[in-house]
Structure 1
Amino acid sequence: MTVSEAAPQPAATTADTGTPYTAADLLIDTVPPPTDPADIGPGAGRFRLWIPERIRFGETDMLGHVNNAVYARWLELGRTRLFDLCGLATRYDQEAPTVMVQAELRIGYKAELRYPGLVMIATGVQRIGRSSITIPQALYANGVLIADSDSVCVAIDRATRRPAQVPDDLRHALNRFATREPAA
Protein backbone atom coordinates (compact mmCIF):
# COMPACT_ATOMS: atom_id res chain seq x y z
CA MET A 1 0.00 0.00 0.00
CA THR A 2 1.37 3.39 -0.94
CA VAL A 3 1.11 6.49 1.18
CA SER A 4 -1.72 7.78 -1.01
CA GLU A 5 -3.64 4.51 -0.44
CA ALA A 6 -3.23 4.71 3.33
CA ALA A 7 -6.03 5.59 5.70
CA PRO A 8 -7.99 8.71 4.82
CA GLN A 9 -6.41 11.95 5.90
CA PRO A 10 -8.12 14.00 8.62
CA ALA A 11 -10.17 17.01 7.62
CA ALA A 12 -8.26 20.20 7.03
CA THR A 13 -7.61 22.25 10.12
CA THR A 14 -7.94 25.96 10.57
CA ALA A 15 -4.21 26.30 10.00
CA ASP A 16 -4.63 24.54 6.64
CA THR A 17 -7.68 26.43 5.42
CA GLY A 18 -7.61 29.74 7.25
CA THR A 19 -11.25 29.26 8.28
CA PRO A 20 -12.26 29.88 11.89
CA TYR A 21 -13.01 27.06 14.29
CA THR A 22 -16.65 26.32 14.99
CA ALA A 23 -18.04 25.59 18.44
CA ALA A 24 -18.27 21.89 17.49
CA ASP A 25 -14.51 21.83 16.79
CA LEU A 26 -13.89 22.96 20.34
CA LEU A 27 -15.85 20.26 22.16
CA ILE A 28 -13.19 17.59 21.88
CA ASP A 29 -12.04 17.72 25.50
CA THR A 30 -14.96 19.53 27.09
CA VAL A 31 -17.04 17.31 29.30
CA PRO A 32 -20.66 17.79 30.38
CA PRO A 33 -21.33 19.10 33.87
CA PRO A 34 -21.07 16.31 36.44
CA THR A 35 -24.33 14.54 37.23
CA ASP A 36 -23.47 14.67 40.91
CA PRO A 37 -21.33 17.74 41.68
CA ALA A 38 -20.61 16.30 45.14
CA ASP A 39 -18.35 13.82 43.33
CA ILE A 40 -16.25 16.71 41.98
CA GLY A 41 -15.91 18.76 45.14
CA PRO A 42 -17.44 21.50 47.26
CA GLY A 43 -19.27 24.21 45.31
CA ALA A 44 -18.92 22.36 42.01
CA GLY A 45 -22.64 22.42 41.26
CA ARG A 46 -22.62 26.13 40.42
CA PHE A 47 -20.47 25.74 37.29
CA ARG A 48 -21.68 24.84 33.78
CA LEU A 49 -18.44 24.43 31.80
CA TRP A 50 -15.98 21.66 32.64
CA ILE A 51 -12.62 20.86 31.07
CA PRO A 52 -10.40 17.97 32.21
CA GLU A 53 -6.69 18.63 32.03
CA ARG A 54 -3.89 16.12 32.61
CA ILE A 55 -1.27 17.13 35.18
CA ARG A 56 2.15 16.94 33.54
CA PHE A 57 5.42 16.18 35.31
CA GLY A 58 6.97 19.33 33.83
CA GLU A 59 4.37 21.42 35.68
CA THR A 60 5.79 20.48 39.06
CA ASP A 61 8.43 22.34 41.05
CA MET A 62 11.32 21.18 43.23
CA LEU A 63 8.92 20.34 46.07
CA GLY A 64 7.03 17.94 43.80
CA HIS A 65 3.76 19.86 43.63
CA VAL A 66 2.22 21.75 40.72
CA ASN A 67 3.76 25.20 40.43
CA ASN A 68 1.31 28.00 41.22
CA ALA A 69 1.91 29.66 37.83
CA VAL A 70 0.40 26.59 36.15
CA TYR A 71 -2.94 27.31 37.87
CA ALA A 72 -3.19 30.63 35.98
CA ARG A 73 -2.59 28.79 32.68
CA TRP A 74 -5.28 26.21 33.47
CA LEU A 75 -7.72 28.99 34.34
CA GLU A 76 -6.87 30.69 31.05
CA LEU A 77 -7.77 27.43 29.26
CA GLY A 78 -11.21 27.59 30.86
CA ARG A 79 -11.78 31.25 29.98
CA THR A 80 -10.55 30.73 26.43
CA ARG A 81 -12.83 27.72 25.95
CA LEU A 82 -15.74 29.75 27.33
CA PHE A 83 -15.16 32.56 24.85
CA ASP A 84 -14.55 30.11 21.99
CA LEU A 85 -17.83 28.30 22.67
CA CYS A 86 -19.60 31.67 22.70
CA GLY A 87 -18.30 32.57 19.24
CA LEU A 88 -15.47 34.87 20.23
CA ALA A 89 -12.91 32.65 18.44
CA THR A 90 -14.09 34.07 15.14
CA ARG A 91 -13.39 37.62 16.39
CA TYR A 92 -9.64 37.19 16.80
CA ASP A 93 -8.98 38.20 13.24
CA GLN A 94 -7.62 41.68 12.61
CA GLU A 95 -10.99 42.87 11.30
CA ALA A 96 -12.86 42.27 14.56
CA PRO A 97 -13.94 45.63 16.02
CA THR A 98 -14.24 44.34 19.61
CA VAL A 99 -11.87 42.04 21.52
CA MET A 100 -11.75 40.84 25.15
CA VAL A 101 -8.80 41.50 27.44
CA GLN A 102 -8.24 40.34 30.99
CA ALA A 103 -8.28 43.21 33.47
CA GLU A 104 -8.16 41.33 36.80
CA LEU A 105 -7.27 37.88 38.09
CA ARG A 106 -7.54 36.60 41.65
CA ILE A 107 -6.51 33.05 42.56
CA GLY A 108 -7.09 31.51 45.98
CA TYR A 109 -4.84 28.49 46.49
CA LYS A 110 -6.68 25.95 48.67
CA ALA A 111 -4.79 22.66 48.47
CA GLU A 112 -1.58 21.17 47.15
CA LEU A 113 -1.68 19.26 43.88
CA ARG A 114 0.86 16.67 42.74
CA TYR A 115 1.73 14.75 39.59
CA PRO A 116 0.26 12.50 38.19
CA GLY A 117 -3.46 13.06 37.95
CA LEU A 118 -6.29 14.98 36.40
CA VAL A 119 -7.54 18.44 37.28
CA MET A 120 -11.05 19.59 36.41
CA ILE A 121 -11.31 23.22 35.32
CA ALA A 122 -14.74 24.66 36.15
CA THR A 123 -15.80 27.93 34.53
CA GLY A 124 -18.91 30.06 34.70
CA VAL A 125 -20.22 33.57 34.13
CA GLN A 126 -21.28 35.54 37.19
CA ARG A 127 -21.98 39.00 35.79
CA ILE A 128 -22.15 40.65 32.39
CA GLY A 129 -21.86 44.42 32.64
CA ARG A 130 -21.85 47.05 29.91
CA SER A 131 -18.21 46.43 28.99
CA SER A 132 -17.01 43.78 31.45
CA ILE A 133 -17.62 40.14 32.30
CA THR A 134 -16.95 38.58 35.72
CA ILE A 135 -15.87 34.95 35.40
CA PRO A 136 -15.70 32.68 38.47
CA GLN A 137 -13.64 29.51 38.14
CA ALA A 138 -12.38 26.63 40.26
CA LEU A 139 -9.91 23.78 39.97
CA TYR A 140 -10.80 20.37 41.41
CA ALA A 141 -8.90 17.11 41.78
CA ASN A 142 -9.92 13.91 43.55
CA GLY A 143 -12.98 15.52 45.13
CA VAL A 144 -10.98 18.43 46.56
CA LEU A 145 -11.22 22.12 45.72
CA ILE A 146 -7.63 22.96 44.75
CA ALA A 147 -8.11 26.64 43.88
CA ASP A 148 -10.84 29.17 43.24
CA SER A 149 -10.59 32.21 41.03
CA ASP A 150 -12.41 35.27 39.81
CA SER A 151 -11.41 37.30 36.79
CA VAL A 152 -12.77 40.31 35.00
CA CYS A 153 -12.49 40.54 31.23
CA VAL A 154 -13.21 43.80 29.43
CA ALA A 155 -14.42 44.37 25.88
CA ILE A 156 -12.26 46.91 24.09
CA ASP A 157 -12.60 48.65 20.76
CA ARG A 158 -9.68 47.47 18.63
CA ALA A 159 -9.18 50.88 16.98
CA THR A 160 -9.40 53.13 20.05
CA ARG A 161 -8.17 50.65 22.69
CA ARG A 162 -10.94 51.98 24.97
CA PRO A 163 -13.66 49.96 26.72
CA ALA A 164 -16.55 49.03 24.44
CA GLN A 165 -19.96 47.48 24.95
CA VAL A 166 -20.03 43.68 25.16
CA PRO A 167 -21.55 42.66 21.79
CA ASP A 168 -25.16 41.50 22.08
CA ASP A 169 -24.50 38.12 20.45
CA LEU A 170 -21.64 37.42 22.88
CA ARG A 171 -23.78 38.59 25.83
CA HIS A 172 -26.56 36.20 24.78
CA ALA A 173 -24.16 33.25 24.31
CA LEU A 174 -22.47 33.86 27.69
CA ASN A 175 -25.82 33.59 29.48
CA ARG A 176 -25.78 29.82 28.77
CA PHE A 177 -22.85 29.52 31.21
CA ALA A 178 -24.31 31.63 34.05
CA THR A 179 -23.34 30.19 37.42
CA ARG A 180 -25.99 28.72 39.63
CA GLU A 181 -26.36 29.94 43.18
CA PRO A 182 -24.30 27.83 45.62
CA ALA A 183 -26.38 25.38 47.61
CA ALA A 184 -27.10 26.52 51.16
Structure 2
Amino acid sequence: MYKKVIEPRVSETDGVGHINNTTIPVWLEAARNPIFKLFTPDDSFAHWKMIILNMNVDYLNQIYFGKNVEVYTWVKRIGNSSLELYEEIHQEGNICVKGSVVYVNYNVEKQVSESIPQEIRVQLEEHLLLNSIES
Protein backbone atom coordinates (compact mmCIF):
# COMPACT_ATOMS: atom_id res chain seq x y z
CA MET A 1 0.00 0.00 0.00
CA TYR A 2 1.13 3.52 -0.76
CA LYS A 3 0.19 6.30 1.66
CA LYS A 4 0.15 10.08 1.24
CA VAL A 5 -0.92 12.64 3.85
CA ILE A 6 -2.59 15.76 2.49
CA GLU A 7 -3.38 18.94 4.39
CA PRO A 8 -6.67 20.35 3.02
CA ARG A 9 -6.51 23.98 1.94
CA VAL A 10 -9.04 26.74 2.44
CA SER A 11 -9.31 27.15 -1.34
CA GLU A 12 -10.50 23.52 -1.62
CA THR A 13 -13.44 24.18 0.70
CA ASP A 14 -16.75 25.00 -0.96
CA GLY A 15 -19.71 27.09 0.11
CA VAL A 16 -21.31 24.17 1.95
CA GLY A 17 -18.28 23.94 4.26
CA HIS A 18 -16.69 20.71 3.11
CA ILE A 19 -13.90 19.91 0.65
CA ASN A 20 -15.27 20.29 -2.87
CA ASN A 21 -15.84 17.04 -4.76
CA THR A 22 -13.71 18.26 -7.68
CA THR A 23 -10.67 18.28 -5.36
CA ILE A 24 -10.85 14.56 -4.61
CA PRO A 25 -9.57 13.28 -8.01
CA VAL A 26 -6.62 15.70 -7.70
CA TRP A 27 -5.73 14.29 -4.28
CA LEU A 28 -6.05 10.72 -5.53
CA GLU A 29 -3.74 11.49 -8.44
CA ALA A 30 -1.20 13.15 -6.12
CA ALA A 31 -0.97 9.91 -4.16
CA ARG A 32 -0.09 8.01 -7.35
CA ASN A 33 3.24 9.82 -7.84
CA PRO A 34 5.34 6.85 -6.63
CA ILE A 35 3.63 4.67 -9.25
CA PHE A 36 4.16 7.27 -11.99
CA LYS A 37 7.85 7.33 -10.99
CA LEU A 38 8.13 3.58 -11.62
CA PHE A 39 7.01 4.03 -15.21
CA THR A 40 8.67 7.40 -15.90
CA PRO A 41 11.69 7.73 -13.56
CA ASP A 42 12.75 11.11 -14.99
CA ASP A 43 9.22 12.59 -14.61
CA SER A 44 9.48 13.80 -18.22
CA PHE A 45 6.23 14.25 -20.09
CA ALA A 46 8.19 13.47 -23.27
CA HIS A 47 8.65 9.93 -21.87
CA TRP A 48 5.36 9.68 -19.95
CA LYS A 49 3.86 6.18 -19.85
CA MET A 50 0.76 6.25 -17.65
CA ILE A 51 -2.46 7.03 -19.53
CA ILE A 52 -5.72 6.93 -17.60
CA LEU A 53 -8.52 4.82 -19.08
CA ASN A 54 -11.17 4.88 -16.37
CA MET A 55 -11.79 6.39 -12.95
CA ASN A 56 -14.57 5.81 -10.44
CA VAL A 57 -15.06 7.71 -7.18
CA ASP A 58 -17.57 7.01 -4.41
CA TYR A 59 -18.11 9.81 -1.88
CA LEU A 60 -18.99 8.24 1.46
CA ASN A 61 -18.46 11.01 4.03
CA GLN A 62 -17.71 14.71 3.93
CA ILE A 63 -14.12 15.92 4.29
CA TYR A 64 -13.32 19.14 6.11
CA PHE A 65 -10.64 21.82 6.17
CA GLY A 66 -8.34 21.86 9.19
CA LYS A 67 -7.84 18.12 9.52
CA ASN A 68 -5.31 16.12 7.49
CA VAL A 69 -6.41 13.28 5.26
CA GLU A 70 -4.62 10.05 4.42
CA VAL A 71 -4.80 8.74 0.87
CA TYR A 72 -4.18 5.00 0.56
CA THR A 73 -3.43 3.37 -2.78
CA TRP A 74 -3.27 -0.34 -3.49
CA VAL A 75 -2.64 -2.23 -6.70
CA LYS A 76 -5.78 -4.24 -7.37
CA ARG A 77 -4.85 -5.90 -10.66
CA ILE A 78 -1.85 -6.04 -12.97
CA GLY A 79 -2.61 -6.98 -16.56
CA ASN A 80 -0.31 -7.27 -19.54
CA SER A 81 -0.22 -3.54 -20.32
CA SER A 82 -2.68 -2.10 -17.79
CA LEU A 83 -3.12 -1.91 -14.05
CA GLU A 84 -6.04 -1.15 -11.77
CA LEU A 85 -5.63 0.70 -8.50
CA TYR A 86 -7.97 0.77 -5.51
CA GLU A 87 -7.88 3.97 -3.44
CA GLU A 88 -9.32 5.32 -0.21
CA ILE A 89 -9.25 8.69 1.52
CA HIS A 90 -9.60 8.73 5.31
CA GLN A 91 -10.06 11.63 7.72
CA GLU A 92 -10.00 11.17 11.50
CA GLY A 93 -10.20 7.39 11.12
CA ASN A 94 -13.26 7.48 8.86
CA ILE A 95 -13.29 6.35 5.26
CA CYS A 96 -14.60 9.28 3.26
CA VAL A 97 -13.86 8.27 -0.34
CA LYS A 98 -13.17 5.06 -2.16
CA GLY A 99 -12.38 4.66 -5.80
CA SER A 100 -10.62 2.82 -8.56
CA VAL A 101 -8.63 3.83 -11.59
CA VAL A 102 -7.26 1.97 -14.60
CA TYR A 103 -4.08 3.02 -16.34
CA VAL A 104 -2.35 1.65 -19.42
CA ASN A 105 1.40 1.63 -20.00
CA TYR A 106 1.46 3.65 -23.20
CA ASN A 107 4.18 4.69 -25.62
CA VAL A 108 3.09 8.19 -26.63
CA GLU A 109 5.64 8.46 -29.43
CA LYS A 110 4.53 5.21 -31.09
CA GLN A 111 0.88 5.61 -30.00
CA VAL A 112 0.65 2.02 -28.73
CA SER A 113 0.24 0.30 -25.39
CA GLU A 114 3.21 -1.71 -24.15
CA SER A 115 3.60 -4.60 -21.74
CA ILE A 116 4.44 -3.66 -18.19
CA PRO A 117 8.14 -4.50 -17.71
CA GLN A 118 8.90 -7.32 -15.27
CA GLU A 119 10.98 -5.10 -12.96
CA ILE A 120 8.03 -2.70 -12.56
CA ARG A 121 5.60 -5.59 -12.16
CA VAL A 122 7.65 -6.93 -9.22
CA GLN A 123 7.54 -3.54 -7.47
CA LEU A 124 3.80 -3.18 -8.07
CA GLU A 125 3.16 -6.66 -6.66
CA GLU A 126 4.52 -5.46 -3.29
CA HIS A 127 1.44 -3.22 -3.04
CA LEU A 128 -1.23 -5.70 -4.10
CA LEU A 129 -4.55 -5.26 -2.30
CA LEU A 130 -4.71 -8.98 -1.56
CA ASN A 131 -1.36 -8.82 0.25
CA SER A 132 -2.59 -5.95 2.43
CA ILE A 133 -5.84 -7.69 3.37
CA GLU A 134 -4.02 -10.88 4.37
CA SER A 135 -1.40 -9.02 6.45
Relative to the length of structure 2, the TM-score reads 0.89
Matched, 1:166 2:127: no
Which of 107, 111, 122 is the equivalent residue of 2:57? Answer: 107
What percentage of aligned pairs have identical amino acids?
A: 22
Q: Deviations over 1:49-92 (max 9, x none)?
A: 111110111101111110001110010011123332x3633263
Partner in structure 1 of residue 10 of structure 2: 57
Q: Is contact 1:155–1:166 with CA below 8 Å preserved after alignment?
A: yes
Is the 2:39–2:49 contact (alpha carbons within 8 Å) kept by the matching residues of 1? no
Q: What is the Cα deviation at residue 93 of structure 1?
A: 5.6
Rounded Cα–Cα distance in structure 2 between residues aligned with 1:55 and 1:102: 25
Distance in 2, Cα, partners of 1:117 & 1:93: 33
Determine the C-alpha separation between the residues in 2 that align with 1:157 and 1:62.
42
CA 93–169 in structure 1, closer or farther in 2 if over 3 Å, else same: farther
Kindly indicate which of the two structures has a greater share of residues assigned to strand. Answer: 2
- Stretches of structure 1 lacking an aligned partner (at least 5 in a row): 1-47
Matches within 5 A, 1:1-184: 48-84=1-37, 86=38, 88-90=40-42, 92=44, 94=46, 96=47, 99-180=49-130, 182=133
Greater gyration radius: 1
Pair 1:57–1:127, CA change in 2 (3 A): same
8 Å contact from structure 1 (residues 138, 147) kept in 2: yes
- The alignment partner of 2:62 has SS state of coil
Instruction: Tell me the amino acid that sits aligned with residue 58 of structure 1.
Output: S
How many residues get paired?
133
Q: Which residue of 2 aligns with 1:29?
A: none
Displacement of 1:155 in angstroms is 0.9
